[in-house]
């Protein structure tokens, strides 16, 4: 390739796309354009005004609150972490309308977590199979029948909460080996009402005219020879020397606009790749990459924001868990006909002075998809009756306002994040991350590159996974062009992933 200033296009202005563009700029690349299909940036880090404040409709947890995590470092440097409140206490209620002893529930929950967080390695088993087997061993070791029942129901709660963490509908569909390559960055931190501000941090110093919104891409033509004539205003001698500039990639937008590039970095979600990959690329993606896109699962989570005039929960409470006494860990899966049984976890937006009285109900998998089809009135009535049953009194009011997220039906996302089904090794994500190698233009290397959380076997499903995948692809191009200046935002993790 001639040593010219490369034209680089990033598709997608989520965290992966923005971090890619930001780091490319830091490396000294000055012809970088970001295309975003929607009318706003941030992707799955998103917000909405609800009640008296902005709330995170997308990511709201830092998975790994330590200096190892670049997302943690960025939010800490900005001073935002100083606003994170005390998370409050945990409250547990049973479907018999009684409060469950929090000390017992917490001990049982921690025992279940210790089992379900097992990092399998090449077992080929499902998380559901492992969890049912190991928890049954604990239950069988107990002598008291009542204690067995109580322990069993809390173990089931742990399994149901894991479905929310993963965005899945059935523990038996999740690979036990899901986290064998994972990097543990520390404990999770709830930064509700703050995470969406990460987008502003990533946009700092990025030229606004290089970020194009409402640019839905319909085709990515690569391994070709696409030309643009020199500007007619150019000096005649210079123009004759320059001749016609050629590019290996042509990006076609839905509005008919064509953008030529030396490199395109695709950061769209796995959900969009599943829906579009077969028709998006010309030539088609290699079979191995298409197989990976097909094999990986793309989960779904719904948040239901509920605002009340007055709180019916105690002031110090931060989370509310609902326990069905007849639940067992052997059968942790969703059932659309009993969708409320999968609405067992609520978090309280704190502090009250900032947010007012807001609960967030969380739903996984196909229940999240079902929620997206329901009206606010349907949700309000059903959830109020649900809470009345567990709290054991009828004076719980309906919420004065309600907001439910709709990630699955968002045509530019189509879900939340990736997970590994049984029988699929995380190494396939390395295949998804590999740049495309052309045949007709072998000298034009790294024409199409890929970033996004689903390309990170060490950190998929996390915001830092998305961010670091962008750094990885910027580093790849920097190495290709022998850029030696170290970017100012380099983190210690960049060299590990």
The pLDDT tens digits for 290-315 are 999 999 999 999 999 999 999 999 99
Q: Which of 359-368, 412-421, 454-463, 475-484 has the lowest mean pLDDT?
A: 475-484
What H or E segment, with its residue span, contains residue 378? helix 376-391
pLDDT score of 439: 79
User: CB of 222 within 8 A of CB of 438?
Assistant: yes
Average pLDDT over residues 193-199: 96
Cα distances from 460 to residues 183, 348, 377, in angstroms, run: 10, 26, 35
* Higher local confidence (pLDDT), 15 or 233: 15
Question: Which two structure tokens, joined as six digits, stand for 161?
Answer: 């909460």
pLDDT score of 484: 76
Judge whether residue 485 has pLDDT over 90.
Answer: no
Question: Which two structure tokens, joined as six digits, stand for 258?
Answer: 């064509």
Judge whether residue 492 has pLDDT over 50.
Answer: no
Q: Rounded distance, CA 201 to CA 339, Å? A: 38
Judge whether residue 443 has pLDDT over 90.
Answer: no
pLDDT score of 228: 75
pLDDT band for position 490 (50/70/90)?
very low
Q: Rounded distance, CA 33 to CA 272, Å? A: 20
Average pLDDT over residues 214-232: 86
Q: What is the pTM of this model?
A: 0.93
Judge whether residue 275 has pLDDT over 70.
Answer: yes
pLDDT score of 331: 81
How are strands ordered across the β-sheet holding 301-308? 99-100, 89-94, 317-323, 345-348, 357-364, 301-308, 401-404
Percent of the residues in the chain that have a pLDDT greater than 90, as a whole number: 87
Average pLDDT over residues 424-445: 88
Q: Rounded distance, CA 296 to CA 285, Å? A: 16
DSSP one-letter string for 113-167: HHHHT----S---BHHHHHHHHHHHHHHT---HHHHHHHHHHHHHHHHHHHHHHT
What residues contact residue 38 under an 8 Å CB cut-off, 6+ apart? 213, 214, 412
Q: What angle do CA 365, 460, 198 make, to 5 degrees?
A: 95
Per-residue pLDDT tens digits for 135-182: 999 999 999 999 999 999 999 999 999 999 999 999 999 999 999 999
- Other Cβ atoms closer than 10 A to 336: 12
Judge whether residue 282 has pLDDT over 60.
Answer: yes
pLDDT score of 205: 87
Average pLDDT over residues 223-248: 67
* Separation of first and last alpha carbons in the chain: 28
Judge whether residue 258 has pLDDT over 60.
Answer: yes
DSSP letter, residue 340? G
Judge whether residue 240 has pLDDT over 60.
Answer: no
pLDDT band for position 442 (50/70/90)?
low
User: CB of 471 within 8 A of CB of 8?
Assistant: no
* Higher local confidence (pLDDT), 1 or 291: 291
Q: Which of 363-377, 412-426, 435-449, 479-493 has the lowest mean pLDDT?
A: 479-493
Per-residue pLDDT tens digits for 71-119: 999 999 999 999 999 999 999 999 999 999 999 999 999 999 999 999 9
């Amino acid at each position: 390739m001639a040593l010219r200033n490369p034209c680089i296009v990033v598709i997608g202005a989520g965290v992966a796309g923005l971090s890619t563009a930001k780091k490319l700029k830091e490396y000294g690349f000055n012809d970088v354009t970001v295309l975003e299909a929607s009318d706003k940036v941030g992707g799955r880090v998103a917000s909405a005004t609800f009640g008296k404040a902005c709330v995170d409709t997308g990511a709201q947890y830092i998975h790994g609150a330590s200096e190892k995590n670049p997302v943690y470092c960025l939010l800490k440097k900005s001073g935002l972490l100083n606003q994170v409140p005390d998370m409050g206490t945990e409250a547990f209620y049973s479907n018999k309308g009684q409060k469950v002893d929090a000390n017992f529930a917490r001990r049982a929950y921690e025992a279940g977590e210790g089992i379900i967080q097992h990092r399998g390695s090449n077992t080929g088993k499902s998380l559901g199979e492992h969890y049912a087997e190991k928890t049954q061993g604990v239950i069988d070791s107990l002598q008291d029948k009542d204690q067995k029942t109580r322990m069993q129901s809390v173990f089931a709660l742990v399994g149901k909460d894991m479905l929310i963490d993963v965005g899945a509908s059935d523990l038996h569909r999740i690979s036990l080996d899901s986290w064998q390559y994972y990097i543990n960055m520390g404990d999770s931190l709830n930064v509700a009402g703050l995470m969406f501000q990460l987008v502003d941090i990533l946009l700092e110093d990025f030229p606004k005219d290089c970020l194009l919104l409402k640019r839905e891409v319909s085709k990515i033509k690569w391994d070709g020879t696409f030309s643009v004539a020199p500007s007619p205003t150019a000096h005649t001698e210079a123009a004759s020397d320059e001749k016609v500039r050629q590019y290996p990639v042509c990006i076609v937008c839905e509005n008919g606009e064509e953008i030529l590039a030396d490199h395109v970095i695709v950061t769209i979600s796995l959900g969009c790749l599943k829906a579009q990959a077969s028709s998006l690329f010309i030539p088609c993606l290699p079979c191995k990459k298409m197989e990976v896109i097909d094999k990986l699962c793309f989960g779904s989570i719904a948040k239901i924001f509920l605002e009340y005039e007055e709180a019916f929960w105690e002031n110090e409470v931060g989370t509310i868990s609902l326990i069905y006494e007849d639940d067992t860990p052997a059968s942790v899966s969703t059932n659309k006909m009993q969708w409320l049984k999968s609405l067992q976890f609520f978090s309280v937006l704190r502090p009250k002075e900032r947010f007012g009285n807001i609960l967030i109900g969380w739903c996984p998998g196909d229940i999240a998809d079902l929620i997206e089809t329901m009206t606010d009135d349907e949700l309000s009535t059903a959830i109020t009756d649900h809470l009345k049953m567990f709290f054991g009194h009828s004076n719980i009011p309906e919420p004065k306002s309600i907001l439910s997220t709709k990630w699955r039906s968002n045509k530019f996302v189509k879900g939340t994040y990736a997970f590994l089904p049984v029988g699929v090794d995380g190494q396939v994500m390395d295949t998804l991350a590999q740049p495309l190698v052309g045949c007709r233009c072998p000298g034009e290397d790294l024409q199409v590159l890929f970033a996004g959380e689903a390309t990170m076997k060490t950190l998929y499903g996390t915001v830092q996974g998305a961010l670091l995948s962008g750094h990885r692809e910027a580093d790849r191009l920097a190495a290709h062009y022998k850029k030696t200046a170290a970017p100012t935002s380099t983190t210690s993790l960049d060299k590990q992933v």
